[in-house]
Structure 1
Protein backbone atom coordinates (compact mmCIF):
# COMPACT_ATOMS: atom_id res chain seq x y z
CA UNK A 1 0.00 0.00 0.00
CA UNK A 2 1.32 3.40 -0.97
CA UNK A 3 0.79 6.14 1.62
CA UNK A 4 -0.42 9.39 0.11
CA UNK A 5 0.98 12.82 0.89
CA UNK A 6 -0.77 15.24 3.23
CA UNK A 7 -1.65 17.49 0.28
CA UNK A 8 -3.42 14.63 -1.50
CA UNK A 9 -5.24 13.61 1.66
CA UNK A 10 -6.32 17.21 2.26
CA UNK A 11 -7.73 17.48 -1.26
CA UNK A 12 -9.64 14.24 -0.82
CA UNK A 13 -11.03 15.30 2.57
CA UNK A 14 -12.47 18.48 1.02
CA UNK A 15 -14.81 16.33 -1.06
CA UNK A 16 -16.31 14.48 1.91
CA UNK A 17 -19.49 15.44 3.72
CA UNK A 18 -19.63 16.36 7.39
CA UNK A 19 -20.99 12.91 8.34
CA UNK A 20 -18.27 11.14 6.36
CA UNK A 21 -15.59 13.25 8.09
CA UNK A 22 -17.09 12.44 11.47
CA UNK A 23 -17.08 8.75 10.63
CA UNK A 24 -13.43 8.90 9.52
CA UNK A 25 -12.40 10.67 12.75
CA UNK A 26 -14.17 8.07 14.87
CA UNK A 27 -12.52 5.23 12.95
CA UNK A 28 -9.17 6.93 13.42
CA UNK A 29 -9.81 7.20 17.16
CA UNK A 30 -10.72 3.52 17.42
CA UNK A 31 -7.69 2.38 15.46
CA UNK A 32 -4.96 3.33 17.91
CA UNK A 33 -4.77 4.65 21.47
CA UNK A 34 -2.43 7.49 20.44
CA UNK A 35 -4.92 8.66 17.80
CA UNK A 36 -7.66 8.72 20.41
CA UNK A 37 -5.44 10.66 22.81
CA UNK A 38 -4.56 13.17 20.09
CA UNK A 39 -8.22 13.67 19.18
CA UNK A 40 -8.96 14.20 22.88
CA UNK A 41 -6.26 16.85 23.04
CA UNK A 42 -7.51 18.61 19.90
CA UNK A 43 -11.15 18.61 20.96
CA UNK A 44 -10.94 19.28 24.69
CA UNK A 45 -7.53 20.57 25.74
CA UNK A 46 -5.87 22.48 22.90
CA UNK A 47 -7.59 25.76 23.81
CA UNK A 48 -6.05 25.85 27.32
CA UNK A 49 -2.40 24.79 27.13
CA UNK A 50 -1.70 25.47 30.83
CA UNK A 51 -4.50 23.14 31.91
CA UNK A 52 -3.15 20.51 29.51
CA UNK A 53 0.33 20.82 31.00
CA UNK A 54 -1.07 20.50 34.52
CA UNK A 55 -3.08 17.40 33.59
CA UNK A 56 0.05 15.83 32.05
CA UNK A 57 2.02 16.69 35.20
CA UNK A 58 -0.64 14.93 37.27
CA UNK A 59 -0.28 11.86 35.06
CA UNK A 60 3.50 12.03 35.42
CA UNK A 61 3.15 12.27 39.20
CA UNK A 62 1.18 9.04 39.18
CA UNK A 63 3.88 7.35 37.10
CA UNK A 64 6.61 8.62 39.44
CA UNK A 65 4.69 7.30 42.44
CA UNK A 66 4.70 3.86 40.82
CA UNK A 67 8.48 3.66 40.42
CA UNK A 68 9.98 0.52 41.93
CA UNK A 69 12.97 2.02 43.72
CA UNK A 70 14.30 -1.23 45.17
CA UNK A 71 16.92 -1.49 42.46
CA UNK A 72 18.25 0.67 39.65
CA UNK A 73 17.25 -1.74 36.88
CA UNK A 74 13.54 -1.25 37.56
CA UNK A 75 14.03 2.48 38.14
CA UNK A 76 15.66 2.80 34.70
CA UNK A 77 12.82 0.96 32.99
CA UNK A 78 10.14 3.12 34.60
CA UNK A 79 12.02 6.38 34.07
CA UNK A 80 12.44 5.58 30.38
CA UNK A 81 8.72 4.79 30.19
CA UNK A 82 7.92 8.17 31.74
CA UNK A 83 10.23 9.87 29.26
CA UNK A 84 8.46 8.15 26.33
CA UNK A 85 5.13 9.41 27.68
CA UNK A 86 6.50 12.95 27.84
CA UNK A 87 7.58 12.72 24.19
CA UNK A 88 4.11 11.54 23.20
CA UNK A 89 2.30 14.26 25.17
CA UNK A 90 4.67 16.92 23.82
CA UNK A 91 4.07 15.79 20.26
CA UNK A 92 0.36 16.61 20.57
CA UNK A 93 0.94 20.25 21.43
CA UNK A 94 1.83 22.79 18.78
CA UNK A 95 3.62 24.99 21.33
CA UNK A 96 7.34 24.41 21.72
CA UNK A 97 7.31 25.57 25.33
CA UNK A 98 5.13 22.63 26.36
CA UNK A 99 7.92 20.11 25.88
CA UNK A 100 10.38 22.34 27.74
CA UNK A 101 7.94 22.68 30.62
CA UNK A 102 7.37 18.92 30.82
CA UNK A 103 11.07 18.06 30.58
CA UNK A 104 11.90 20.57 33.31
CA UNK A 105 9.25 18.99 35.49
CA UNK A 106 10.65 15.54 34.70
CA UNK A 107 14.14 16.64 35.78
CA UNK A 108 12.81 18.22 38.97
CA UNK A 109 10.99 15.02 39.88
CA UNK A 110 13.87 12.73 38.99
CA UNK A 111 16.22 14.70 41.27
CA UNK A 112 13.99 13.96 44.24
CA UNK A 113 13.97 10.20 43.73
CA UNK A 114 15.44 8.01 46.45
CA UNK A 115 17.82 6.28 46.10
CA UNK A 116 19.49 9.08 44.21
CA UNK A 117 19.84 8.63 40.46
CA UNK A 118 23.27 10.23 40.70
CA UNK A 119 24.63 7.03 42.25
CA UNK A 120 24.00 5.25 38.94
CA UNK A 121 25.93 6.15 35.78
CA UNK A 122 23.15 5.25 33.35
CA UNK A 123 20.54 7.36 35.12
CA UNK A 124 22.98 10.23 35.57
CA UNK A 125 23.73 10.18 31.84
CA UNK A 126 20.01 10.08 31.05
CA UNK A 127 19.49 13.11 33.30
CA UNK A 128 22.39 14.97 31.67
CA UNK A 129 21.02 14.24 28.19
CA UNK A 130 17.65 15.67 29.20
CA UNK A 131 19.27 18.83 30.57
CA UNK A 132 21.20 19.23 27.30
CA UNK A 133 18.01 18.68 25.30
CA UNK A 134 16.20 21.30 27.38
CA UNK A 135 19.01 23.79 26.67
CA UNK A 136 18.69 23.12 22.95
CA UNK A 137 14.91 23.53 22.97
CA UNK A 138 15.06 26.71 25.06
CA UNK A 139 17.35 28.35 22.52
CA UNK A 140 14.57 28.48 19.89
CA UNK A 141 11.95 30.05 22.17
CA UNK A 142 11.07 33.73 22.61
CA UNK A 143 13.61 35.73 24.68
CA UNK A 144 11.27 36.23 27.65
CA UNK A 145 10.55 32.52 27.84
CA UNK A 146 14.25 31.77 27.40
CA UNK A 147 15.07 33.86 30.44
CA UNK A 148 12.43 32.19 32.63
CA UNK A 149 13.30 28.67 31.54
CA UNK A 150 17.06 29.28 31.79
CA UNK A 151 16.60 30.28 35.42
CA UNK A 152 14.81 26.99 36.12
CA UNK A 153 17.44 25.12 34.16
CA UNK A 154 20.32 26.66 36.10
CA UNK A 155 18.83 25.33 39.32
CA UNK A 156 18.90 21.82 37.77
CA UNK A 157 22.46 21.92 36.45
CA UNK A 158 25.06 20.35 38.61
CA UNK A 159 22.49 18.95 41.03
CA UNK A 160 23.66 15.88 42.88
CA UNK A 161 27.34 16.14 42.01
Structure 2
Protein backbone atom coordinates (compact mmCIF):
# COMPACT_ATOMS: atom_id res chain seq x y z
CA UNK A 1 0.00 0.00 0.00
CA UNK A 2 1.35 3.41 -0.99
CA UNK A 3 0.97 6.18 1.61
CA UNK A 4 -0.89 9.28 0.44
CA UNK A 5 0.49 12.78 0.71
CA UNK A 6 -0.88 15.34 3.16
CA UNK A 7 -2.46 17.28 0.28
CA UNK A 8 -4.27 14.17 -0.96
CA UNK A 9 -5.50 13.39 2.55
CA UNK A 10 -6.70 16.97 3.02
CA UNK A 11 -8.68 16.89 -0.23
CA UNK A 12 -10.27 13.57 0.66
CA UNK A 13 -11.18 14.70 4.19
CA UNK A 14 -13.02 17.73 2.78
CA UNK A 15 -15.51 15.38 1.13
CA UNK A 16 -16.28 13.56 4.40
CA UNK A 17 -19.06 14.56 6.76
CA UNK A 18 -18.17 15.73 10.25
CA UNK A 19 -19.40 12.42 11.72
CA UNK A 20 -17.14 10.50 9.37
CA UNK A 21 -14.17 12.70 10.29
CA UNK A 22 -14.85 12.08 14.00
CA UNK A 23 -14.96 8.33 13.38
CA UNK A 24 -11.69 8.48 11.41
CA UNK A 25 -9.99 10.42 14.23
CA UNK A 26 -11.18 7.96 16.86
CA UNK A 27 -10.02 5.02 14.77
CA UNK A 28 -6.65 6.68 14.27
CA UNK A 29 -6.33 7.32 18.01
CA UNK A 30 -6.79 3.60 18.73
CA UNK A 31 -3.63 2.58 16.92
CA UNK A 32 -0.82 4.50 18.53
CA UNK A 33 -0.27 6.09 21.89
CA UNK A 34 1.34 9.10 20.19
CA UNK A 35 -1.79 9.68 18.09
CA UNK A 36 -3.87 9.69 21.28
CA UNK A 37 -1.44 12.05 23.00
CA UNK A 38 -1.45 14.46 20.05
CA UNK A 39 -5.25 14.40 19.89
CA UNK A 40 -5.37 15.07 23.66
CA UNK A 41 -3.06 18.06 23.22
CA UNK A 42 -5.04 19.47 20.31
CA UNK A 43 -8.42 19.06 21.99
CA UNK A 44 -7.69 19.90 25.62
CA UNK A 45 -4.33 21.57 26.12
CA UNK A 46 -3.59 23.70 23.06
CA UNK A 47 -5.78 26.50 24.45
CA UNK A 48 -3.54 26.93 27.51
CA UNK A 49 0.10 26.67 26.47
CA UNK A 50 1.31 27.75 29.93
CA UNK A 51 -0.68 24.95 31.57
CA UNK A 52 0.70 22.49 29.04
CA UNK A 53 4.27 23.59 29.78
CA UNK A 54 3.68 23.19 33.52
CA UNK A 55 2.27 19.69 33.10
CA UNK A 56 5.27 18.66 30.98
CA UNK A 57 7.63 20.15 33.59
CA UNK A 58 5.89 18.13 36.32
CA UNK A 59 6.35 14.96 34.28
CA UNK A 60 10.02 15.81 33.71
CA UNK A 61 10.46 16.33 37.48
CA UNK A 62 8.98 12.88 38.12
CA UNK A 63 11.20 11.28 35.48
CA UNK A 64 14.33 12.90 36.95
CA UNK A 65 13.35 11.62 40.43
CA UNK A 66 13.10 8.07 39.05
CA UNK A 67 16.65 8.05 37.65
CA UNK A 68 18.85 5.29 39.04
CA UNK A 69 21.96 7.25 40.08
CA UNK A 70 24.03 4.19 40.99
CA UNK A 71 25.72 4.08 37.60
CA UNK A 72 26.37 6.56 34.81
CA UNK A 73 25.11 3.89 32.38
CA UNK A 74 21.62 4.06 33.88
CA UNK A 75 21.77 7.84 34.17
CA UNK A 76 22.60 8.16 30.45
CA UNK A 77 19.76 5.84 29.44
CA UNK A 78 17.27 7.72 31.62
CA UNK A 79 18.42 11.17 30.50
CA UNK A 80 18.12 10.19 26.83
CA UNK A 81 14.62 8.84 27.48
CA UNK A 82 13.62 12.10 29.20
CA UNK A 83 14.99 14.13 26.29
CA UNK A 84 13.07 11.96 23.78
CA UNK A 85 9.90 12.53 25.80
CA UNK A 86 10.44 16.30 25.88
CA UNK A 87 11.12 16.39 22.12
CA UNK A 88 7.87 14.48 21.54
CA UNK A 89 5.90 17.02 23.60
CA UNK A 90 7.63 19.85 21.73
CA UNK A 91 6.52 18.30 18.43
CA UNK A 92 2.92 18.25 19.65
CA UNK A 93 3.01 21.93 20.51
CA UNK A 94 4.95 23.21 17.51
CA UNK A 95 5.52 26.46 19.41
CA UNK A 96 9.11 27.79 19.41
CA UNK A 97 8.68 29.47 22.79
CA UNK A 98 7.51 26.20 24.32
CA UNK A 99 10.45 24.39 22.73
CA UNK A 100 13.05 26.75 24.17
CA UNK A 101 11.41 26.87 27.61
CA UNK A 102 11.18 23.08 27.93
CA UNK A 103 14.75 22.53 26.72
CA UNK A 104 16.05 25.17 29.14
CA UNK A 105 14.18 23.40 31.93
CA UNK A 106 15.69 20.07 30.89
CA UNK A 107 19.19 21.57 30.92
CA UNK A 108 18.54 23.12 34.32
CA UNK A 109 17.45 19.77 35.77
CA UNK A 110 20.37 17.97 34.11
CA UNK A 111 22.90 20.47 35.48
CA UNK A 112 21.57 20.08 39.03
CA UNK A 113 21.59 16.26 38.79
CA UNK A 114 23.76 14.46 41.34
CA UNK A 115 26.22 12.85 40.67
CA UNK A 116 27.47 15.68 38.46
CA UNK A 117 27.25 15.32 34.68
CA UNK A 118 30.69 16.94 34.42
CA UNK A 119 32.25 13.61 35.41
CA UNK A 120 30.82 11.88 32.36
CA UNK A 121 31.78 12.94 28.83
CA UNK A 122 28.61 11.62 27.17
CA UNK A 123 26.27 13.48 29.52
CA UNK A 124 28.35 16.66 29.32
CA UNK A 125 28.27 16.51 25.51
CA UNK A 126 24.51 15.94 25.49
CA UNK A 127 24.08 18.96 27.78
CA UNK A 128 26.35 21.12 25.62
CA UNK A 129 24.52 20.08 22.42
CA UNK A 130 21.22 21.14 23.93
CA UNK A 131 22.65 24.54 24.89
CA UNK A 132 23.92 25.05 21.33
CA UNK A 133 20.52 23.99 19.95
CA UNK A 134 18.74 26.48 22.23
CA UNK A 135 21.19 29.20 21.16
CA UNK A 136 20.23 28.57 17.51
CA UNK A 137 16.50 28.77 18.32
CA UNK A 138 16.67 32.05 20.25
CA UNK A 139 16.76 34.42 17.22
CA UNK A 140 13.40 33.03 16.06
CA UNK A 141 11.64 34.33 19.19
CA UNK A 142 10.28 37.77 20.13
CA UNK A 143 12.95 40.21 21.38
CA UNK A 144 11.70 40.20 24.98
CA UNK A 145 11.70 36.42 25.08
CA UNK A 146 15.13 36.35 23.46
CA UNK A 147 16.46 38.48 26.29
CA UNK A 148 14.78 36.47 29.08
CA UNK A 149 15.73 33.08 27.66
CA UNK A 150 19.20 34.41 26.79
CA UNK A 151 19.77 35.35 30.43
CA UNK A 152 18.66 31.88 31.52
CA UNK A 153 20.94 30.31 28.92
CA UNK A 154 23.92 32.36 30.11
CA UNK A 155 23.30 31.16 33.68
CA UNK A 156 23.33 27.55 32.48
CA UNK A 157 26.55 28.08 30.50
CA UNK A 158 28.32 29.70 33.41
Q: TM-score, normalised by structure 2?
A: 0.98
The alpha-carbon deviation at position 115 of structure 1 amounts to 0.6
User: Residue by residue, what CA displacement relative to the aligned partner does 1:95-136 show, whole Å, maximum 9, x if unpaired?
Assistant: 111110000000110111111011111111110001001101
1:38 aligned residue? 38
2:93 aligned residue? 93
2:22 aligned residue? 22
1:135 aligned residue? 135
2:72 aligned residue? 72
Name the CA distance, whole Å, in 1 between partners of 2:122 and 2:11. Answer: 48
Q: Secondary structure at the residue paired with 1:3? A: coil
User: Residue by residue, what CA displacement relative to the aligned partner does 1:22-57 show, whole Å, maximum 9, x if unpaired?
Assistant: 110001111100000000000000000000000000
Q: Secondary structure at the residue paired with 2:69? A: coil
2:145 aligned residue? 145
Q: Secondary structure at the residue paired with 1:67? A: coil
Q: Secondary structure at the residue paired with 1:136? A: helix
Q: Does the alignment pair 1:6 with 2:6?
A: yes
4+ runs deviating over 2 angstroms: none
The alpha-carbon deviation at position 94 of structure 1 amounts to 2.6
Q: TM-score, normalised by structure 1?
A: 0.96
Number of residue pairs matched?
158
Name the CA distance, whole Å, in 1 between partners of 2:128 and 2:103. Answer: 12
User: Residue by residue, what CA displacement relative to the aligned partner does 1:72-96 show, whole Å, maximum 9, x if unpaired?
Assistant: 0000000000000011000001311
Q: Does the alignment pair 1:47 with 2:44?
A: no
Name the CA distance, whole Å, in 1 between partners of 2:111 and 2:95. Answer: 26
| Structure 2 runs not aligned, ≥5 long | none
Measured on the aligned residues, the alpha-carbon RMSD in Å equals: 0.7
Q: Which has the higher helix share?
A: 2
